[in-house]
Amino acid sequence: MSRIGKLPIVLPKDVDFSINDNLVSIKGPFGDFKTTIPPEIIVELKERTVFVNIKDNSLKSRSLYGAFRTLLHNDISGVNKKFEVELNLVGVGYRCETTPKVAILRLGFSHPIELTIPEGVTVQVENNTAITISGAKKETITQFAATIRSYRRPEPYNGKGVLYKNEKIIRKAGKSGKK
Domain assignment of residue 110, given as a range: 83-164
Q: Tell me if 169 is assigned to some domain.
A: no
Give Cβ neighbours of residue 99 (< 8 Å, ≥ 6 apart). none
Which secondary structure element, helix H or strand E, spans residue 66, and what is its range?
helix 59-80
Are 22 and 89 contained in the same domain? no
Are 75 and 87 contained in the same domain? no
Q: Tell me if 171 is assigned to some domain.
A: no
* pLDDT tens digits in sequence order for the chain, 179 residues long: 678 888 999 999 999 999 998 999 999 999 899 999 999 999 999 999 999 999 988 888 888 888 999 999 999 999 999 999 999 999 999 999 999 899 999 999 999 999 999 999 999 999 999 999 999 999 999 999 999 999 999 999 988 999 999 988 898 888 876 66
Are 124 and 62 contained in the same domain? no
By C-alpha distance, which of 7, 45, 53, 10 is closest to 25? 45
Q: Tell me if 179 is assigned to some domain.
A: no
**How much is the pTM?**
0.87
| Final residue of a structural domain among 80, 110, 144 | 80
Residue 35: which CATH number? 3.90.930.12
